[in-house]
Amino acid sequence: MTGRAAELERSTRETNVSIKLNIDGAGKFDVKCDVSFLKHMIETFARYGSFDITMKATGDDDHHLIEDVAITLGNVFRKALDDRSIERISTVTIPMDDALVTVSVDIIDRSFADIDCPDQLYHHFLRSFAMSAGITLHVVKIRGFDEHHIIEASFKALGTALRYAVYPRKTELSTKDRPKVK
């Protein structure tokens, strides 16, 4: 499988973000980012999604950078999808030590996000990603007390769920035509 790749750059007064994404990759990544935990989460997303990601992200503060990386990643994900039929819907539950998180996605071009995340910045990341990608995203914390574990389990589950959802199929699942992405 080849061909589902894209790249985007987003430059604002606060940030400069460039991302290359191959959704038919092998989970390889080269991530340079001013926020080390965000770097770790993007690498985790790439590994669990089997997505190849090259990213450079710099910014004036954590909030601006986390938000702009999410927007850019969502837009490049949307751009990388082509018109072939995909599984579209996936739900994955991931355990990580004390944390147990379920992520459900529907790649349907109806942006919606219901996010259960203990950290406001990463709640904002996941919501911004979903809105920019044009997907439906539900993140449910079933249990957990360590914020790091809950957030990381969320990124692992998101990557895994998207890997399953973008898997090609012979026929379209929807009774409606999927809008063309430009």
Residue 109: pLDDT band (50, 70, 90) is confident
Kindly report, residue by residue over 53-105, the tens digit of the pLDDT. 999 999 999 999 999 999 999 999 999 998 889 999 999 999 999 999 999 99
- The 8-class DSSP code of residue 25 comes to S
Least confident of 37-41, 85-89, 178-182: 178-182
Contacts of 26 (CB under 8 A, 6+ apart): 50, 52
Please give the helix or strand (H or E) that residue 91 lies within, else none.
Answer: strand 89-96
Residue range 126-130: average pLDDT? 98
| Extents of the domains making up the chain | 5-165
Alpha carbon distance 173, 8 (integer Å): 29
Residue listed under structure tokens 């007064």: 13
CB-count burial class (<10 Å; 0-12, 13-18, 19+) for 95:
middle
Instruction: Indicate the pTM of the whole model.
Output: 0.93
3-state secondary structure of 107: coil
Q: Where are the alpha helices (DSSP H) in the chain?
A: 36-49, 62-80, 120-133, 147-165
Arch. (CATH architecture) of 5-165 = 2-Layer Sandwich (3.30)
